[in-house]
Structures are given as C-alpha cells and as structure tokens.
C-alpha cells in the first residue's frame, strides 16, 4: 500500500499484518490524536460471493462495535473505504495481551487473574445487554493497559441476534476457546462468551488449556464431550471457590453456567472476598461505595497495589503493544505474521514504564476511563472527581465497582437527572443487587432516563426482588426477604453414572441429574460409583441458592486401584459373567474395579446359573470358593433306543439337546425340568416333567410304538 493517507487519517507506520489485512498506526489531524487503522485487503482470487460476505462481515464489525461505549472495550471512531479497500479507525491503546501470561513462569497471581476476570465480565455484560456477542474471547483479545486495567479487543466477530452471515455453517472464532453450542452451530447468547472467558481464566491459572488436543477436531471433541481436569488440582494455590466459578463457566449446558457477566463477576468477587479489584469507570451498572476504607485496610490496599504494579510494570516496560477492535480471524490466518499477540505488535525502541506511585495517571483515550493511584489517594477522571476524593470513592471500598453514572451513593455523572431511593430490608444487613450487580450502599441513585430497574436483596437463603421505576417510586423502598424453598440443583460427576443419594432432599438417580434441595435446611449429597472413592458434599443451611449450585457441581470422583479375584475351580468348566458379558473362567485371576460387584457363575451344559456378590478391595487379591449346590444326575432309557433327549428348565421356552439314549448319569443342577424325547424314525415326541435333587440319581423311562 503506497499512499500515506487513508481518508483523513495520516499513516505513520504498519504495526500488524495478517493473511487478509494490515493494521497501521495513524494520526487523526481533525482531533489531533493517534488512531489504529485496520485495512481489509480482499484477495483478487477470492470468489465474488465470498468477497461479498467477507466485506459485509468487516463492515458489520464497524457497525456493531461502534455501538459500544465502555472503558473496558476498545472504541471505534470511524469507518470508510479507500480505493476498494475498506478500513476502520479505532482507539489506539498501549498494553500487553494476556496471552503473555498463559504459561509458566509468566503466570499471574490468582488475585490478579480474578481481577482481570471481573473486569472482563463487566465489559462483556455491557456488550451482551447491548445485544452483541463477541464470539472470539481469548487471551490475545484481552489487553492490560498500564499494567492493570483490562480492555477487550476484536469485537469484529460481534454478533447481533438478527445477523446471519454464516448460513453455510462456517465457524467463526478460535476453536480452543469456542463454547459447545458455538461448535455445534447453535444459536448463541452471552453465555457462550462466558464459557470462552472461563477457558481463558482456566489457562491463566493452570498454565494449560482445559481442553487439549493435537488436532482441531480432537479439541472440539473434548469441548463437546469431556470435562476438564480440576483446576485446583493443577494449581493448588487456586482457592476451591475460584476453581468452582471457573468450572461453572465451563459447563456444557449454557443453563448451568452463570446467567450473565454480572452474575459471574459477583461470583468471582465472592470467591476472593478480601481482595481489592480494579473498577473501570463508566460502566453503567457499576456502583460507588459510600464507605471509606479504614486506615489499616487502606495501608494493606496500598501494599497490594504496589506489589501488583511491581510485577506487571516490568512487563509493560519491556514493550508497547498497539491494539484495536480487530477481526482476529482475518489477520491471524495461515501465514499471518502478527504472532501470538495478533495485531498487537511490539514497537521497537519504545520503552514506557508504569507511572510511579504518587504520579497522576492519564485519562483513557476514549474520554471515559479512570485510573486511580490508590497509594497516592488521587484520581483523574474525564467524568468528574479529582485528587481530593477519598480512596473508597475512587475504588468502591474494599471490593466494589465504582460508577460515575448511577447505582449507589455516588453521584450521577454528566448532570443526568437522578432519583435517590432508600432501601430497607427485613432482615437487615442484606446484600443489594441492581440489575444483577452487587452494590455497597442502601441508597439507590437512579437515572430517570433509564426507566425501570430490577432491585434484588439477598441474605443467605432468603431473597426479595422488585422492579423500581425511579419516576414514580417512593423515597423509601422496604423489602421483606422470604425463604427460597426447593431449588433444583444440577449434579454432575466425572466420570458420569454415579449414584446420587441426598440426606435432607430427594435423590436424583444417577449423574448427570437434577436434585431438589431446600437451601434453608441444607443437605448432604453423596455420589457413589463402583471403582471410585465416594464423595460427600455438605450443603450448610441458610446458603444462597447460587452458592448451593456452585458447591455441588461438578464433582470429580477419585478412581480406586483395581482388585484381583480368583474363583476356585470345581472340576468342570465354569464361566464368570458380569452384566451378561463373560469376563473369565473359574481358576483365572480376574482384575475387577473396587467395590461391590454381582457376578454369575455359569455352565450351560449343566443348566447351572449361580449368582454371587463379591466385595473387591482396592489393590488386594481375593480367592473365593463359591458355595455351589451339589449336582444331581439324570439317566434316560427308551425303547426302541433310537431316540434323542432334550430338556428345558421350568419357565424356559427353549429346549436344549442333551444326548442320545441311552443317557446315563448326566450331571445337572438341581431343580424342575421338562424332558422331551424324540423317536427319530417316526418323529414321535413324548414329554415328562421331572425334578433333579442334589446328590441323587434320577432314571426316566420312555416307550414308543406300544
């Protein structure tokens, strides 16, 4: 590309290249700011229909992403076409892709991973409520700016519910991070992005992907059919609560995942309740705390902040990465040179360190963001606020998000008309959620222009929910919490097929299944599977229903070592069968899974069927002398003697050939039989009912032609 301008933008240099496009650093002379320009270069050999679809998808990217205005999402500025080359101008940011931290020794601390997960949930929740699904959430599309603030890039695959550009079933996205429903070509919603985010968080915490394979098809098979290894088993420093949140995001069934980004964000916060998390300003549903941090907590907070920036500051200083909202599938295709960072290429010779403690941090380039230096107690915000505000107003207290718009005790930004409503709960001390986002104040400050909002109060197993219209609601909003009774809880195990027993609830058969539990009463759920250590899960009384679901599923059962069993031989052939399948013979050393087993000892010629229950101990050998009944003997005589003898057990329809007469002392299992003797020359048949007694001989005569 020879020209130095694209529309009104002045091209500075190329910063990324792929199989079908390039990214340039440019200058916008109208607004005097740097921008990133993505240019789509359609191959001349591409079929016309494919060119048209690719161009539509590219332009759709601009239309979809331009609707999103959130500090956690890269902003689209403009789009156009120059000499048959479509392009998009977008926010230029400097940061580090999370793919830098997916393998040891570069793994981030657990708190840092949870922190970026919470920020990603907030940005995705905003996009989903705007009607868009990202469809390609992966580490390379999640950028850390100034070492800690997260921005999501590449909303080029964003899908509006009415869009249908892939009617031929073409998969759009990165297979390693696709949800099961995306692989299956089903209709997607925001829960698909939460699955992909779960894969990202798993990889950042474990140092490996949850679904691995040598080929794309192998990876897809595992995503559709297999459970990932327990996260806390791969990295013992990951708390069980964090592991549970990530595993819930990885559920195959979207209904078993978190219902929204806001709900997953709340779950991550609850998993590390003592941590302090970044709060991206400008999120519409974020909430400002009305309580300041106590001196001891503020001092600890400053220490954590210094440690965090000390770790990531060296990474940020090592290289600056340019990013934009980009269609990754267009640029990191075959032969693409963007590498693991996609379009985010290191700028050679450029060093930029994280500002030292006490220095002001710049406002983000979209004019909406906020960076707070907690150590210095200062902040700079395009939406308001300043150096004099306390740390709690900058950070939402010890563990809440902040907002310049509405929600808690913070003021509404931009002069928008607001309504203050005081919420009281019975019992007091309940947690409040506004549109699914946890708030840290009993004062709701709601923008009138946004209309009705959903307010929910939760305390243990009790909850109350209502819709509040700020235009007509009273100044006082009382909420009486009622117990939640009889919730359905999905129970899954790895492997599946475990027997579910519930003390304090109804059993649910075998996994996977639903059980009904009273969260106010609690319960004990036990999963049992042959060859595995039983697992018991204690559900405390008065627990939040969402916490009950996280606690129960999924459960990994530990396989026990196999045991060995030998059945003593009895002087005649004796098969050993289990579940209708032959597993060996008496006298063989049989390897069986540990646990209680029911086998059948069989000799068809003697009509012997002897069931026996065995307890196989893990790692041990057992010799069993089965207490078989004593056999009886049958003799048959016929005149004339040219006859054949058949027999069947009582209740059986099939006759089995025994011998020709004379038949002498044939061993048979005790019991009732029906004898059938056929005279061969004429075909004449005679039948008799007999009983074989243990240890005794029975003689049965027949006479034909009399």
Query: Domains in the chain, ordered, with CATH?
Result: 5-341 (1.10.510.10), 487-556 (2.60.40), 563-624 (no CATH), 632-703 (2.60.40.10)
Please give the average per-residue pLDDT across 109-126, as a whole number: 94
Sheet with 487-491, side-by-side order of all strands: 487-491, 513-517, 505-506
Catalytic residues: 136
pLDDT reported for residue 275: 60
Distance CA 279, CA 287 (A): 9
pLDDT of 163 > 80? The answer is no
DSSP class of residue 201 equals H
Residue 633: pLDDT band (50, 70, 90) is very high
pLDDT of 102 higher than 90 = yes
The predicted pLDDT at position 314 comes to 33
- For residue 330, pLDDT over 70 is answered with no
Instruction: Output 260 or 369, whichever has higher pLDDT.
Output: 260
Q: Which of 181-185, 268-272, 376-380, 529-533 is predicted least confidently?
A: 376-380
Q: What is the pLDDT of residue 595?
A: 86
State the pLDDT confidence band at 42, using cuts at 50, 70 and 90.
low
Q: Comparing 588 with 348, which gets the higher pLDDT?
A: 588
Of 64 and 23, more confident: 23
pLDDT reported for residue 88: 85
For residues 548-573, average pLDDT: 86
Going from the C-alpha of 595 to that of each of 73, 422, 462, the distances in angstroms are 54, 59, 41
Would the pLDDT of 291 be above 90? no
At residue 551 the predicted structure's pLDDT band, cuts being 50, 70 and 90, is confident
Whole-prediction pTM: 0.43
What's the pLDDT at 310? 35
pLDDT in tens, 209-223: 999 988 887 888 899
Q: Where does residue 683 rank: exposed (0-12), middle (13-18), buried (19+ CB within 10 A)?
A: exposed
Positive or negative torsion for Cα 487, 189, 244, 268: negative
- DSSP E strands in 547-642: the ranges are 555-556, 563-567, 575-578, 581-585, 589-592, 595-603, 608-616, 621-624, 632-639
Q: What local confidence, expressed as pLDDT, does residue 504 receive?
A: 61
What local confidence, expressed as pLDDT, does residue 485 receive? Answer: 81
Least confident of 174-183, 315-324, 427-436, 565-574: 315-324
Q: Given a cut of 50, is residue 154 above it in pLDDT? A: yes
Average pLDDT, the chain: 76
pLDDT at 602: 97
pLDDT of residue 213: 86
Average pLDDT estimate for 158-162: 42
**DSSP three-state, residue 81:** strand
Higher pLDDT, 195 or 295: 195
Give the mean model confidence (pLDDT) for residues 271-288: 49
């Amino acid at each position: 590309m020879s020209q130095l301008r694209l529309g009104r933008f002045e091209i500075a240099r190329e910063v990324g290249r792929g199989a079908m496009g390039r990214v340039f650093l440019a200058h916008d002379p109208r607004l005097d700011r740097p921008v990133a320009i993505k240019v789509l270069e359609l191959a001349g050999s591409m079929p016309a229909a494919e060119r048209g679809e690719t161009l539509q998808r590219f332009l759709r990217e601009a239309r979809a992403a331009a609707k999103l205005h959130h500090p956690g999402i890269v902003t689209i500025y403009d789009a156009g076409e120059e000499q048959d080359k479509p392009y998009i101008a977008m926010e230029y940011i400097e940061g580090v892709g999370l793919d830098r931290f997916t393998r040891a020794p570069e793994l981030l601390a657990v708190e840092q991973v949870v922190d970026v997960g919470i920020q990603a949930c907030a940005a995705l929740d905003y996009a989903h409520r705007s009607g868009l699904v990202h469809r390609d959430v992966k580490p390379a599309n999640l950028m850390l700016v100034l070492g800690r603030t997260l921005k999501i890039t590449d909303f080029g695959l964003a899908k509006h519910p009415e869009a249908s550009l892939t009617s031929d079933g073409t998969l759009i996205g990165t297979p390693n991070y696709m949800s099961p429903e995306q692989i299956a070509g089903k209709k997607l919603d925001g829960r698909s992005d939460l699955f992909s985010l779960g894969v990202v968080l798993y990889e950042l915490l474990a140092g490996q992907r949850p679904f691995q394979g040598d080929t794309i098809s192998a990876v897809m098979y595992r995503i559709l059919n297999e459970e990932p290894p327990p996260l806390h088993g791969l990295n013992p420093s990951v708390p069980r609560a964090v592991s549970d949140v990530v595993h819930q995001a990885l559920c195959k069934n979207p209904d078993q995942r978190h219902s929204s980004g806001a709900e997953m964000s709340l779950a991550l916060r609850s998993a590390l309740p003592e941590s302090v998390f970044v709060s991206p300003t400008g999120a519409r549903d974020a909430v400002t705390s009305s309580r300041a941090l106590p001196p001891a907590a503020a001092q600890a907070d400053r220490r954590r902040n210094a440690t965090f920036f000390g770790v990531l500051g060296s990474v940020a200083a090592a290289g600056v990465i340019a990013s934009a909202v980009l269609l990754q599938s267009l640029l990191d295709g075959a032969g693409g040179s963007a590498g693991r960072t996609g379009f985010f290429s290191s700028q050679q010779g450029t060093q930029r360190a994280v500002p030292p403690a006490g220095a002001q941090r710049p406002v983000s380039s979209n004019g909406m963001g906020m960076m707070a230096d907690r150590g210095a107690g200062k902040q700079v915000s395009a939406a308001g606020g300043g150096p004099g505000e306390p740390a709690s107003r900058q950070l939402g207290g010890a563990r809440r998000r902040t907002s310049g718009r509405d929600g808690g005790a913070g003021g509404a930004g931009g002069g928008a008309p607001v309504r203050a409503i005081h919420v009281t709960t019975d019992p007091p001390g309940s947690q409040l959620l506004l549109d699914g986002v946890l708030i840290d104040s009993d004062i709701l400050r709601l923008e009138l222009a946004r209309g009705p909002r959903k307010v929910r109060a939760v305390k243990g197993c009790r909850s109350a929910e209502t819709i509040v219209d700020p235009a007509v609601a009273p100044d006082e909003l009382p909420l009486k919490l009622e117990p939640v009774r009889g919730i359905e809880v999905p129970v899954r195990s790895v492997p599946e097929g475990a027997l579910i027993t519930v003390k304090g609830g109804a059993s649910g058969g075998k996994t996977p299944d639903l059980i009904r539990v009273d969260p106010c009463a609690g319960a004990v759920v036990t999963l049992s599977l042959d060859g595995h250590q039983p697992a018991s899960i204690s559900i405390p009384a008065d627990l939040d229903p969402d916490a009950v679901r996280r606690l129960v599923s999924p459960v990994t059962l530990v396989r026990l070592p196999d045991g060995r069993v030998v059945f003593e031989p009895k002087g005649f052939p004796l098969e050993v069968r289990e579940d209708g399948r032959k597993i060996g013979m008496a006298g063989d050393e049989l390897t069986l899974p540990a646990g209680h087993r029911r086998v059948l000892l069989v000799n068809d010629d003697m009509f012997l069927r002897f069931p026996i229950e065995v307890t196989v101990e893990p790692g041990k050998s057992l010799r069993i002398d089965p207490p078989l009944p004593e056999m009886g003997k049958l003799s048959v005589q016929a005149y004339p003697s040219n006859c054949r003898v058949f027999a069947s057990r009582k209740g059986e329809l099939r006759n089995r050939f025994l011998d020709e007469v004379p038949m002498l002392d044939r061993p048979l299992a005790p019991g009732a039989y029906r004898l059938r003797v056929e005279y061969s020359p004429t075909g004449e048949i005679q039948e008799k009912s007999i009983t074989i007694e243990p240890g005794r001989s029975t003689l049965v005569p027949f006479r034909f032609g009399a």
